[in-house]
Amino acid sequence: MADIAVPRRRSWTGWRFVGPFMAVFALVFLAPIVYSIYLSLFKNRLIGGNSFVGLDNYQQALTDPNFWSSVGRVSIFLVVQVPIMLFIALLVALAIDSGRLYGKSFFRISIFLPYAVPAVVATLMWGFIYGTQFGLVGNINDAFNITLPDPLSPSLILTSIGNIVTWEFVGYNMLIFYSALRTIPTTLYESAEIDGAGELRIIRSIKLPAIRGALVIATIFSIIGSFQLFNEPSILQNVAPNAITTYFTPNLYAYSLSFSGQQYNYSATVAIVMGVITMVIAYVVQLRGTKES
Amino acid sequence: MTTMVTAPERTGTHKSPLTPRKPRNRKSVVLTLVTGIALIYSLIPLVWLLINSTKTQDGLASSFGLWFDDGHFALWDNIRETLTYNDGIFVRWLGNTLFYVIVGAGGATFLAVLAGYGLAKFDFPGKKGVFAIVIGAVAVPGTALAVPTFLMFSKMGLTNTPWAVIIPSLITPFGLYLMWTFTEQAIPTEIIEAARVDGAGEFRIFFRLAVPLLAPGIVTVLLFSMVATWNNYFLPLIMLKDPDWYPLTVGLNAWNAQAQTAGGDVVFNLVITGSMLTILPLLAAFLLLQRYWQSGLAAGSVKE
């Protein structure tokens, strides 16, 4: 589409604007990718030092039960948390866009606010709230003399993390959907009403198809976010050391391998394998999302 | 001002910006109440934080989480203690964070606006390649790059310096994408051609003509890169060893982790008050700059 808007002759002038970005981009995106591929082909042994091992590290990663258990965990997270979060975000966006809410700008800005809260603060805050000692969960237990299930126990920790992530990003996704809804011409609604279409029919036949692009983009970003899960489990480790292992998520695993285990080569391999898995899934979602329209 | 802010949002999709939208809809109490559940969910933890920043360490344990501790209003004491604890390290962390945000987010916005303008308004050799690489990079998990970046930076002697945090923050593919679509809509190519005919240089055209027209987009990108830099945790966590260079996020977590180490000073009241002080500037920025970033985002979403 850019080519239509720019009937200019080709010249190198554009590089003066794009060049600085690309230079830094090469340093912080391309170089680390190349370097980690290089690292993944070597192995550092106590005896013999650094040596080229070909695809040995990849073979190790593909048969590593810890790695696959972390991939399984983020996959469950992805399949459960992402649809719930996007569904709530969509409902709120449709409600605000319908114009039937009292104080709709208050709703819009308030639900978006958690996005501005750092993941660290969000996790510390929820970590306190989850606490059975002096958290809100503990308060409720004392007040009603009951024992709620401990949100920080191994069986519930993934759900608790899901809640934190949902809290952080519902508003952000809502805003993306809402912005897309706002671009639908009102004339479409008017003619639909003349045809006797109800609100639900308008949502199904006009609104949802119109914001398909936004839905696909939000889904892809959420998939990437799920596979990158690190901050929340890493910080909750302080309050739930038994529930969160060093290989709880792929990123946490790569981090532990590097900084506790000094296994840099293998850590780089894990990061690459995870990056490839993420890209493939994001690409498939994008293809499916755009094909059907 | 108003027209400038709202114009890109409506380009080609709306008959007239002056027509009030859907006056036919009646307000619904039921829908307001149902959506209110999401509102309460979003606000309760923030209310919890605010209330509990007024409690002492003992009060945290002895009083109900969603109400004040009777007779002990320790907010001002907590703030004073947060700012002075450990020789005022919190203030140092705040300063570090501001520095990372100004240089990192400011630089990121500048690079994105420049490159977005270049992509939107020029045809140059390798343009398709630039576009493909940058879009592809969005799908690469950023944190997966962090470990290799750390190893590379440590070879270059950059780790444990502010540059290790700032340089990776300078790139925002999302910002570039937003500025690219925004520039296409907000700046007619004819204006640029006219300025060229008048003999203005390319950078003069950019700074004098384009930048003012791009204001809502620039504010949006700036705000979102500010959030990303201010909230950054993983990158400074691995890059920095010296607490003197910590940003607020890493510092706060260090305070919280202190309670778990044997003999460590338990300072949950400071963690909570510090958390509150950490989020206030960002919440204020978002509230005050609402009309700018909301129209900027809307313009970006037109093109999907």
pLDDT band at A2 (very low <50, low <70, confident <90, very high): very low
End-of-domain residue from the set B10, B45, B73: B73
> Is residue B211, in this structure, part of any structural domain at all?
yes
Do B155 and B217 lie in one domain? The reply is: yes
Please check whether residue B191 touches A, CB under 8 A. no
pLDDT, position A239:
83
Find the closest chain A residue to B202 by CA distance. A13
Q: Are residues B124 and B265 in the same domain?
A: yes
- Chain A positions touching B151 (Cβ under 8 A) are 35, 39, 258, 264, 268
Q: Based on the domain organization, do B46 and B134 belong to the same domain?
A: no
Q: Check whether residue B268 and residue B228 sit in a common domain.
A: yes
Mean pLDDT, residues B62-76: 79
- Helix, strand and coil percent figures for chain B, each rounded to 5: 75, 0, 25
For B8, name the nearest residue in chain A, comparing CA atoms only.
A183
**Chain A partners within 8 Å of B38 (Cβ):** 88, 91-92, 111, 170
Inter-chain contact A135–B65, Cβ cutoff 8 Å?
A: yes
Reported as a single tens digit per residue, the pLDDT across A76-131 is 999 999 999 999 999 999 999 988 889 888 999 999 999 989 999 999 999 988 98
Pair B134, B258 in one domain:
yes
Same structural domain, B180 and B225? yes
Decide: helix, strand or coil at residue A52: strand
Of B49, B73, B97, which residue is a domain's last? B73
Is residue A89 within 8 A of residue A173, CB to CB? The reply is yes
A contact residues 74-133, partner B, Cβ 8 Å cutoff: 88, 91-92, 95-96, 98-103, 107, 109-122, 124-129, 133
CA distance A244 to A237: 6
Are A43 and A265 in contact by the 8 Å Cβ rule? The answer is yes
Q: Do B112 and B169 belong to one domain?
A: yes
Is B5 part of a structural domain of the chain? no
pLDDT at B170: 94
Does residue B3 lie in a domain region? Answer: no
For every residue of B171-210, which 3-state class applies, written as one string?
A: CCHHHHHHHHHHHHHHCCHHHHHHHHHCCCCHHHHHHHHH
CB contact under 8 A, A167 and B45: yes
Task: State whether B95 and B113 are in the same domain.
Answer: yes
Instruction: Report residue B66's pLDDT band, with 50, 70 and 90 as the boundaries.
Output: confident
**A264-288 per-position pLDDT tens digit:** 889 889 988 988 888 888 888 888 8
Chain B residues touching A22 at Cβ < 8 A: 115, 130
Is the complex ipTM higher than 0.95? no
Is B59 within a domain?
Answer: yes
A23 contact partners, CB below 8 Å, separation of at least 6: none
Residue B245 is assigned to a structural domain of this protein = yes
For residue A141, name the pLDDT band (cuts at 50, 70, 90). confident
Q: Report A:149-178 residues touching B (Cβ under 8 A).
A: 167, 170-171, 175-176
Task: Return the structure tokens found at A193.
Answer: 């009403």
How many Cβ contacts (< 8 angstroms) between chains A and B? Answer: 324
Please name the residues between 123 and 152 in chain A that touch chain B, using a CB distance below 8 Å. 124-129, 133-136, 139, 143
Pick the last residue of a domain from B46, B73, B100.
Answer: B73
C-alpha span between B255 and A5 (Å, rounded):
54
Q: Which residues are A51's β-sheet partners?
A: A43
Per-residue DSSP letter, A115: G
Cβ pair A22:B21 closer than 8 A: no
Q: Stretch A131-135: mean pLDDT, rounded? A: 75
Residue B178: pLDDT over 80: yes
B132 in a structural domain: yes
Domains of chain A: 12-54 (no CATH), 55-291 (1.10.3720.10)
Which domain, by its residues, includes B59? 28-73
Nearest to B39 among A110, A224, A255 (CB): A110
Residues of A in contact with B291 (CB under 8 A): none
Q: Kindly state whether residue B11 falls inside one of the protein's structural domains.
A: no
d(CA A250, CA A228): 7
Residues B152 and B267 in one domain: yes
Give residue B10's pLDDT band: very low, low, confident or very high (50, 70, 90): very low
* B97 shares its domain with B172: yes
Q: Is residue B147 domain-shared with residue B217, that is, in the same domain?
A: yes
How many Cβ atoms sit within 10 Å of the Cβ of residue A4? 7
What pLDDT sits at residue B34?
Answer: 92
Residue A13 to residue A73: CA distance in whole angstroms: 49
Provide the domain count of chain B: 2
Closest Cα in chain B, distance from residue A144 (Å) = 12
Cβ under 8 Å to B: A residues 219-248: 220, 224, 227-228, 230-231, 235, 238-239, 241
Lowest mean pLDDT among A88-97, A152-161, B141-150, B208-217: B141-150
pTM exceeds cut of 0.90: no
Task: Please tell me the distance from the alpha carbon of residue B19 to that of residue B5, in angstroms, as a whole number.
Answer: 16
Antiparallel, parallel or unpaired: β A42-45 and A49-52 = antiparallel
3-state secondary structure B91-107: HHHHHHHHHHHHHHHHH
User: Model confidence over B285-294: pLDDT tens digits?
Assistant: 888 887 777 7
Residue at B235 is within a domain = yes
pLDDT at residue B24, rounded to an integer: 54
**pLDDT tens, A35-46?**
989 989 988 877
Q: Is B238 on the interface with A (CB under 8 A)?
A: yes
Separation CA A197–CA A201 (nearest Å): 6
- B119 and B251 in a single domain? The answer is yes
